[in-house]
Amino acid sequence: MQAFLGFVIVVLIGISVFMFYKKSRGQKIKRKAATYEQFLKKEGFNVSKKQQVGFRTLYVDDVHKQWMIVKGFALVDEPKIYTYSDLIEFEVLEDGESIAHGRAGNAVVGGVMFGGPRRHY
């Protein structure tokens, strides 16, 4: 009976530590995201869309036709902001299938990637 009670106590401690870690990690992620958004605001970047996939976040400014991809959560180096015209080639995948692709110079690159119609160019 003492072994079972000891096991239950260890499990409860483990769950408590895990929940504390998860909560503190979530708060850290929110602080880092706020740091990036402060940087973007300082640069005059208006966040129109924000898409997070794993540890990467895509920020889009439809007004100034700019975008930025953040890898990870540490603001080590100053992130680089790109314009739509910096895109050489693009392909948009949905559920593993290509729904749009093309090359730079298409007037619709920004629209297709960031909310336009679904077609191939």
What are the tens digits of pLDDT across the range 49-90? 888 887 788 888 989 989 888 876 555 566 788 888 887 777
What is the rounded CA–CA span in Å between residue 84 and residue 104?
Answer: 8
| Pair 57, 33: CB distance under 8 Å | yes
DSSP 120: -
Query: Residue 101: beta bridge partners?
Result: 91
Q: Give per-residue pLDDT as tens, 79-121.
A: 788 888 887 777 777 788 888 777 755 544 455 455 544 444 4
pTM (global) more than 0.75:
no
Average pLDDT over residues 24-51: 76
Residue 81: exposed, middle, or buried by beta-carbon count in 10 A (0-12, 13-18, 19+)?
middle
Integer angstrom CA distances of residue 54 from 51, 66, 69, 74, 101: 10, 22, 12, 14, 23
- The SS3 call for residue 9 is helix
Residue 25 has pLDDT above 70, yes or no: no
